[in-house]
Chains A and B, each alone.
Chain A
């Protein structure tokens, strides 16, 4: 028996040593340039761009196979630029008119015109289709073709950011799509520069569409294969083993082991939502104490290193309409925090902190660090890190009985507009809102006004004022935002801040 024990230990140790070894590599020829291999972090649903709202689907299809009316430009300061619409104007407070590009065809030969565009938008809006993208067209009441190339979209009130809401809505060929979602998914026919050449359990392959109306640079990559690796380590290993050229959602920990990393500032902020309507945190002194107890700079540096970014004390990032450049992070002042806690009579009292696992970058670690910081200043913290489904249930059922602190991730990736997170976390009817509207009536009034304001400068001022009031209320305590990371192996490309890449911008370095 003793011999067996020794042998067991030795066997395990030898496997462990082999695993930790950095034996020199065998044949390392690098990935072939016959085909671009792209690894996604999650499996893509069926290739119908209208039904499921999923990042992998956007990463494969949007502006590659399918196109929308408008799109975001690449780079850190994105602008809304034409795609299938050449221009657009708000012809009345509740009407937008889009002029469409003429002479465009879908890859299956159907013509793209105003009727096709109206069909596409109405398909998403139709409740019978159960589209998960319908919410992006929530303000739209009617979509009609006015002539062959003019599309008219009516809204239920002035909607100054309607064009932004359309960036994720792709145009689909009506006749093919009317035969069913499966027909479209099996033969996705957009207007984009790439067509789907193969889809199976291994992944999705694209090849350039020879009849694309636009310019396809001579050095653009002709063949692309998207594969899925949900496991972070497996996805990173693809780069190290030269089995992929480009990897989405590179985990932060992989940075040191991967030679080429491309980043762009993300659009999500990790923050704490405080219960302003009930429990201990309804006292603004307690909320201010929580804000002052956390050293967000150290937290950001410790968890994210060079890929962390500050938030200037706001729930949206620079570049998003509504980001107020005059605001700064809350001051780290633990002594001040202790005084406030004493004044509020909250010393030693227990507060509940809900974290969520596997949803936000470093979310679990950040929640644990916050719990530690709050205990340092005199709170007793009951930390509960829950799964995503439980977290959704908690965060989207806000009430005076909600936990004092819930970890959240306000994002602006759909519209690059502050209203995306204000509508959720600040509006009176917001799905996750516990904003103290009664104490800050001006914020709600400005949110209502911004929704209808057609003058861009005035609207921006409204949103920045709301940011300031959210800041003063301590209803949300922003912690950090972070860069999006891609691992690369011999390619360059131009990313977008919504975590997509127009594949026409990708180039082999040695191609």
Chain B
């Protein structure tokens, strides 16, 4: 396993380089960031001076290599949109997205596993139908629509929660977490149900039931334990997806100052330096999570294989 982990870590660096190169290429093919940053009435001379100061007039490869060299020293330039150091801006935002994603994944894990188990244990009955129907519905819902409906119903009409805003007050946390967690709840329900049904057909499960073991004990001791690897690895992968994508919508609508809303703002304003910084940081995070998921899966599988 050590060799596997080592190989994956070395692959890490290639992933980061590859992602940054592609994004760098694409961004520099887009419109001139100087033109976007400066007022429309700026003269060509003013724009050129600005580009010179920012190093944007240098050849593409020179700019890319300078970016890599500076990045290795922790220098990611300043934001054209927000001012200030890009790496500081991004690192400031990570905890916000982390809190949102962790809580959402936690809820998705607890609720989704519970519902999935229930559906599997009652497979073929109306309980299974209801739960599976809810699961399908939740995976089909649009994040934007769900967020706005939650705001309209629970904040504007019922005044139970705040419409938006960041903080650890439950009034501020519940709606964005729900908006982010409900779709993974549906997905985890389906994954758990499928995994549980899969392992329930294994010989050890049949034997346990034949021995008269209580049904719930069979479910937790044998079925869930053996169904855990795909569920856990799905949760970790989903965490990466939330970080790199799904959180964008929820953060934007609920005004949570995380990496997602930052990425939207940077893209809208053509802040290439900030976008490049975001790509590096998010790529590191997602690659780390994926690596963790792979290792976790290996560990869980090995244990189960040894005990089996």
Contact = CB atoms under 8 A, between A and B. Distances in A.
A270 to B, nearest CB: 14
Given A7-B134, A396-B35, A229 B43 contact: no
Contact of A234 (B50, B133, B163): B163
A3 B129 contact: yes
A11 B134 contact: yes
Contact of A138 (B46, B129, B255, B257): B46
Contacts, number: 192
A32 to B, nearest CB: 14
A501 B296 CA distance: 56
A43 B265 contact: yes
B81 to A, nearest CB: 6
A11 B137 contact: yes
Contacts of A10: 133
B44 A233 contact: no
Given A389-B270, A392-B36, A396-B40, A237 B96 contact: no
Q: Give the size category of A's interface with B.
A: 35 or more
A382 interface: no
A237 B155 contact: yes
Contacts of A420: 41
B140 A8 contact: yes
Contact of A414 (B38, B39, B252): B39
Given A53-B39, A392-B36, A185 B133 contact: no
Contacts of A358: 268
A277 B81 CA distance: 35
A237 B50 contact: no
Nearest to A50: B83
A26 B268 contact: no
B148 A233 contact: yes
Contacts of A424: 40-41
Interface in A198-253: 201-202, 227-231, 233-234, 237-238, 240-241, 243
Contacts of B252: 230-231
A463 B126 CA distance: 77
A430 to B, nearest CB: 8
A298 interface: no
Contacts of A343: none
A27 B159 contact: yes
Contact of A201 (B140, B159, B166, B254): B166
B53 A128 contact: yes
B157 A25 contact: yes
Contacts of A12: 137, 140-141
A21 B136 contact: no
B38 to A, nearest CB: 6
Contact of B126 (A3, A128, A411): A3
Interface in A22-54: 22-28, 42-43, 45-46, 48, 51-54
B82 interface: yes
Contacts of A138: 42-43, 46
Contact of B43 (A19, A27, A431): A431
Contacts of B81: 45, 52, 54
A229 B265 CA distance: 12
Nearest to A389: B31
A45 B261 CA distance: 14
A8 B44 contact: no
A429 interface: yes
B167 interface: yes
B37 A230 contact: no
A201 B96 contact: yes
Contacts of A135: 38-39, 41-43, 46
B14 interface: no
Interface string B81-95: 111100000001100
Contacts of B35: 392-393, 396
Q: Give the size category of B's interface with A.
A: 35 or more
A7 B129 CA distance: 8
A321 B152 CA distance: 45
Contacts of B226: none
B158 interface: yes
A51 B82 CA distance: 9
A237 B133 contact: no
A231 B255 contact: yes
Interface in B115-140: 126, 129-130, 132-134, 136-137, 140
Max chain B Cβ within 10 angstroms of own Cβ: one of A127, A238, A432: A238
A228 B166 CA distance: 10
A241 B162 contact: yes
A54 to B, nearest CB: 8
Max chain B Cβ within 10 angstroms of own Cβ: one of A12, A16, A231, A243: A231
A22 B157 contact: yes
Given A26-B160, A132-B39, A241-B155, A227 B129 contact: no
A246 B157 CA distance: 20
Contact of B156 (A5, A45, A227, A237): A237
Given A4-B136, A231-B255, A132 B164 contact: no
A438 interface: no
B253 interface: yes
B49 interface: yes
A424 B253 CA distance: 35
Interface in B162-204: 162-167
Contact of B83 (A5, A185, A414): A185
A344 B128 CA distance: 71
Given A25-B158, A45-B79, A182 B84 contact: yes
Contacts of A8: 133-134, 136-137, 140
Given A138-B43, A202-B165, A230 B255 contact: yes
B186 to A, nearest CB: 10
A187 B252 CA distance: 28
Contacts of A7: 129-130, 132-134, 137
A234 B149 contact: no
Contact of B41 (A11, A27, A54, A431): A431
B129 A23 contact: no
B213 interface: no
Contacts of B31: 389-390, 392-393
A307 to B, nearest CB: 23
Interface string B214-256: 0000000000000000000000000000000000000011110
6 contacts: A4-B133, A19-B149, A46-B84, A51-B83, A388-B36, A389-B30
Given A11-B134, A43-B257, A389-B36, 5 more contacts: A45-B83, A237-B155, A388-B268, A392-B32, A393-B30
The 6 closest A-B pairs by CB, nearest first: A7-B133, A19-B149, A46-B83, A26-B159, A393-B31, A389-B31
